[in-house]
Amino acid sequence: EPEVTQTPSHQVTQMGQEVILRCVPISNHLYFYWYRQILGQKVEFLVSFYNNEISEKSEIFDDQFSVERPDGSNFTLKIRSTKLEDSAMYFCATDIQNTGELFFGEGSRLTVL
Amino acid sequence: ELKVEQNPLFLSMQEGKNYTIYCNYSTTSDRLYWYRQDPGKSLESLFVLLSNGAVKQEGRLMASLDTKARLSTLHITAAVHDLSATYFCAVDKRETSGSRLTFGEGTQLTVNP
């Protein structure tokens, strides 16, 4: 059973539409991350989240992106107005600080048409 | 800017042979990860290397870290077909208390019978 659960596994959307990707992390983990992987390319850091606020973000994570943990359980990534180039696999990850283990979810494949 | 380079990017080898994948990175780092990714799947953690001279082995895979040379290696011993996958190294450069991984381009390994 996956330790980090992501939904949906695959979403197809029209350009300009809003998308929300969800992650249910391991319950006692403190740090949450989003990474993305464009097909055939390397994995890229988007954002880290701790104590209900963004800890660090990359240049990819522009104003179209937002993250929140609305109910203390689910960790969400929202893309406000999707672009074709947002098509990618989005991975949620979590860890306990300083344990050295970073757990990745199964990923959500986003296809923007 | 932290750069992580892997080589080779593509590796085709015969079963039973040995080979090494190299991962060079450009600045000092807190830790180095090796991941395996099967097509369309998530990232499976193989090794976490925390200090200079660290060596870890699991089955036919052995990873090492030389922080002075900024080099990590993933050595494959007596390859089998099941090892066919893409292997990523990732370097953790912590600007804040959270993790931020910079991934290499990946090495696509094909083991032929």
Which residues in chain A are closer than 8 Å to B33, comparing Cβ atoms?
Answer: 102
| Chain B closest-CA separation from residue A14 CA (Å) | 22
Output the pLDDT for position B51. 84
Residue B26 in this model has a pLDDT that exceeds 80: yes
Shortest distance, CA A72 to any CA of chain B (angstroms): 18
Residue A100's pLDDT is what?
66
What's the pLDDT tens digit per position in B40-75? Answer: 899 999 999 988 888 999 999 999 999 999 999 999
Measure the CA–CA gap between A23 and A77, rounded to whole angstroms.
8
Average pLDDT over residues B4-20: 96
Residue with tokens 């991941």: B35
Q: Which residues of A touch B50 (CB under 8 A)?
A: 100
pLDDT of residue A99: 63
Where chain A has pLDDT below 50, the residues are none
